[in-house]
């Protein structure tokens, strides 16, 4: 019988298709239609193989004649196996088998082709109008040969797929562990920065309260205003100590912070914030602007006898978000010997590199005619990220 015992281990819908041993066939997303097409291809490959074997054994045989028979038998048997695997999946056997011991799985994937091959042959005999086929199929020798070849071919396929499955499980476990470690590191990093963000510098708080005390008797209105802005600052700090760090929340913190400084420094400090309302909901890393502004005040404006102007701006530049903090204080050369500003920028640069890689940039330059300008360039937050941040913030 030149049709032989083709396609004895065709695709298992509960696991993977034999064609997926070839990388090309792993490119397509799994579906019922895809698996049916793959089964037709797989069956045809077996038909070609057995037709070639038949001609090799009997050179007088016609390849096309042999291919006609092997093709019919391959499709009948192959789709019968496919049907039984689908039935097993429908009743829940397939899912349970995939989590069973290896010998159970091997028995399952061997038994289905053996069971399916007989009705597949009978259907092929009917289509080819081969009257003596059923009698040949039921002979003990034929049954033994069919079972032996079927088990051999199933064993070969299991030898291919079992190492692949183990490798896939190992890769998945490694990916899960890497994701867990990354999530833990991100959570720890976020918690650390949120803790920093939630803190008000003790010296700033002490100085502000001391200034309030000194104004209570002489300038009660100013003292009251400073207390109100300090409350606003603490409220903005508490609001910022969440997992959502929006540009708008950071700007509100800066307004309260600069209001207090303006009351303390008087005419020595002037400031402005130029951030469009549509940028307020953008999600940005926590403590992004705060250290830049604090550095500008502490190392640029406060030590200067005349103080100066502090400007904060944000705007979209193509697919980037540009943030800018500029002051008219002492300038880069005056603060270069100090390590604090450089350390603050180094920490911020390291944070942005961890989040965005090479896509984020920090620039430090002179602000003509006097002072320092710091620019931060990051990828513009996506609409989905911004929407999620807006909902969470609300």
- DSSP characters over 6-51: --TT---TTS--GGGGSGGGGGSPP-HHHHHHHHHHHHHHHHHHHH
* Domain at 264, CATH number: 3.30.565.10
pLDDT digits (tens, 9 = 90+) for 175-193: 888 888 777 776 666 656 5
* Three-class SS state of 379: strand
Verify that 26 and 138 share a domain, yes or no: yes
Same domain, 171 and 203: no
Asked if 212 and 347 sit in the same domain, the reply is yes
User: What's the token pair of residue 343?
Assistant: 């350390």
Of 115, 147, 182, the residue at which a domain comes to its end is 182
Residues 244 and 387 in one domain: yes
Which whole-number Å values give the CA distances from 230 to 101, 109, 206, 253, 254, in the listed order?
Answer: 66, 72, 11, 10, 11
Q: Which pLDDT belongs to residue 335?
A: 56
Distance CA 277, CA 168 (A): 48
Three-state DSSP class for residue 175: helix
Range of the domain at 141: 18-182
Domain assignment present for 8:
no
Query: Does 254 share its domain with 151?
Result: no
Which of 147, 182, 217 marks a domain boundary?
Answer: 182
- Do 174 and 44 share a structural domain? yes
Instruction: Tally the residues of the chain.
Output: 394
Instruction: Note the pLDDT of residue 240.
Output: 53
Which stretches of the chain score pLDDT less than 70? 1-16, 94, 98-99, 156-158, 160-162, 164-165, 186-203, 236-244, 333-344, 383-394
User: Average pLDDT, whole number, for the chain?
Assistant: 79
The residue out of 129, 148, 182 marking a domain boundary is: 182
In a domain, 239, yes or no: yes
Looking at the structure, do residues 208 and 354 belong to the same domain, yes or no?
yes
Tell me the β-bridge partners of 327.
310, 372
Angle 220-240/140-198 helices, nearest 10 degrees? 170
* Phi, then psi, of 129 in degrees rounded to 5: 60, 45
Q: Are 284 and 250 in contact (CB under 8 A)?
A: yes
- Asked if residue 203 and residue 174 are part of one domain, the reply reads no
Q: Are 6 and 67 in contact (CB under 8 A)?
A: no
**Residue pLDDT, tens place only, 43-64:** 899 889 888 988 898 888 889 9
| Alpha-carbon span 256 to 275, nearest angstrom | 15
State the residue for tokens 């039935």. 87
Instruction: Give the pLDDT of residue 393.
Output: 41
Residue 49 lies in a domain: yes
In a domain, 190, yes or no: no
One domain, residues 169 and 295: no
Rounded Cα distance, 388 and 246, in Å: 11
- Res 190: pLDDT: 60
This prediction has a pTM of 0.47
Q: Kindly state whether residues 230 and 131 are assigned to the same domain.
A: no
Asked whether residue 176 is assigned to any structural domain, the reply reads yes
Residues 219 and 142 in one domain: no
Tokens 């090309």 belong to residue: 24
Terminus-to-terminus CA distance in the chain, angstroms?
A: 75
Any domain includes 6: no
Whether residues 174 and 242 fall in one domain: no
Domain count, the chain: 2
Count Cα neighbours of 198 within 13 Å in the Cβ-side half-sphere: 12
> For residue 189, is it within any domain?
no
Q: Residue 80 falls within a domain, yes or no?
A: yes
- CA-to-CA distance for 220 and 243, rounded, in angstroms? 38
Closest by Cα among 86, 79, 87, 69 to 42: 79
Q: What angle do CA 34, 35, 36 make, to 5 degrees?
A: 90
């Amino acid at each position: 019988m030149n049709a032989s015992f083709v396609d004895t281990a065709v695709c298992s819908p509960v696991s993977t298709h034999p064609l997926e041993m070839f990388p090309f066939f792993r490119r397509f997303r799994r579906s019922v239609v895809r698996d049916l097409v793959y089964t037709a291809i797989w069956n045809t490959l077996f038909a070609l193989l057995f037709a070639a074997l038949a001609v090799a054994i009997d050179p007088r045989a016609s390849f096309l004649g042999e291919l006609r028979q092997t093709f019919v038998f391959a499709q009948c048997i192959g789709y019968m196996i496919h049907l039984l695997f689908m039935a097993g999946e429908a009743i829940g056997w397939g899912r349970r088998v995939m989590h069973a011991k290896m010998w159970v799985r091997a028995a399952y994937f061997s038994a289905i082709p053996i069971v399916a091959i007989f009705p597949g042959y009978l259907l092929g005999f009917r289509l080819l109008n081969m009257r003596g086929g059923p009698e040949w199929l039921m002979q003990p020798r034929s049954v033994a040969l069919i079972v032996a070849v079927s088990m051999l071919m199933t064993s070969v396929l299991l030898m291919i797929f079992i190492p692949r499955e183990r490798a896939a499980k190992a890769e998945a476990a490694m990916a899960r562990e890497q994701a867990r470690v990354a999530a833990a590191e991100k959570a720890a990093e976020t918690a650390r920065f949120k803790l920093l963000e939630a803190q008000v510098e003790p010296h700033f708080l002490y100085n502000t309260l001391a200034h309030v005390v000194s104004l209570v008797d002489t300038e009660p209105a100013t003292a009251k205003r400073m207390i109100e802005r300090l409350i606003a600052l603490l409220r903005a700090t508490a609001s910022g100590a969440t997992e959502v760090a929006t540009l708008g929340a950071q700007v509100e913190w800066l307004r309260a912070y600069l209001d207090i400084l303006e009351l303390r420094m008087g005419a020595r400090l002037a400031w402005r914030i130029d951030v469009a309302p549509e940028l307020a909901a953008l999600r940005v890393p926590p403590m992004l602007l705060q250290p830049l502004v604090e550095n500008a005040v502490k190392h640029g404006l406060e030590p200067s006898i005349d103080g100066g102007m502090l400007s904060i701006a944000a705007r979209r530049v193509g697919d980037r978000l540009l943030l800018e903090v500029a002051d008219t204080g002492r300038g880069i050369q005056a603060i270069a010997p100090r390590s604090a500003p450089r350390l603050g920028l180094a920490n911020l640069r390291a944070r942005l590199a961890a989040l965005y890689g090479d896509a984020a940039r920090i620039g430090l330059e002179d602000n003509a005619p006097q002072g320092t300008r710091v620019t931060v360039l990051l990828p513009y937050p996506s609409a989905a990220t911004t929407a999620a941040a807006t909902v969470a913030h609300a």
